[in-house]
């Protein structure tokens, strides 16, 4: 069974601070997706990383896929209240294209 552990589980920071969320597994994934979900809404896809060592930037968000494609990180620079939400990583296993393994989730709260 593939597992994805996210850390931290919960993060409360002030506007302007930087933060990093980690997504770790002992399994190799062919790709990894990051989502943000707000209460009562569906997850919104932020980015997909495919190549080991790949780095993608989305405005103040920087995503990195580990060299061995077993882990990923999300770094947010100068967090804003609009960044508040549940961040989920999800890995696509090799040979299991229709199944995503979701991470345990990181709940981020950004206050003024």
Partner 1 sequence: DTEVTQTPKHLVMGMTNKKSLKCEQHMGHRAMYWYKQKAKKPPELMFVYSYEKLSINESVPSRFSPECPNSSLLNLHLHALQPEDSALYLCASSQGHAGGGANEQFFGPGTRLTVL
Cβ atoms of 31 and 48 closer than 8 Å: yes
The size of the chain, in residues, is 112
* 72 near partner 1, judged by CB under 8 A: no
Q: Which of 21, 88, 108, 110 binds partner 1 (CB under 8 A)?
A: 88
Q: How far apart are CA 100 and CA 109, in angstroms?
A: 26
Q: Which of 55, 68, 99, 111 binds partner 1 (CB under 8 A)?
A: 99
- Nearer to partner 1 by Cβ, of 95 and 112: the residue is 95
- Nearer to partner 1 by Cβ, of 58 and 97: the residue is 97
Task: Number of residues interacting with partner 1: please give it, by CB under 8 A.
Answer: 27
* 100 near partner 1, judged by CB under 8 A: yes
**43-80 per-residue burial string, b: 16 or more CB within 10 A, e: under 16:** beebbebeeeebeeeeeebbbbbbeebbbbbbbbeebe
With contacts defined by CB under 8 A, name the span among 16-24, 74-82, 86-94 that binds partner 1: 86-94
Residues at the contact surface with partner 1, assessed by CB under 8 A: 30-31, 33, 35, 40-45, 48-50, 88, 90, 92, 94-95, 97-100, 102-105, 107
């Amino acid at each position: 069974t593939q597992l994805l552990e996210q850390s931290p589980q919960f993060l409360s920071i002030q506007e302007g601070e930087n933060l990093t969320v980690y997504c770790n597994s002992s399994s190799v994934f062919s790709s990894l997706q990051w989502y943000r979900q707000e209460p009562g809404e569906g997850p919104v896809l932020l980015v997909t990383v495919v190549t080991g060592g790949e780095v993608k930037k989305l405005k103040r968000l920087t995503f990195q896929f580990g060299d061995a494609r077993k882990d990923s990180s999300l770094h947010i620079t100068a967090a804003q209240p609009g960044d508040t939400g549940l961040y989920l990583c999800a890995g696509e296993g090799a040979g299991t294209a229709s199944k995503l393994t979701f991470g345990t989730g990181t709940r981020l709260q950004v206050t003024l």
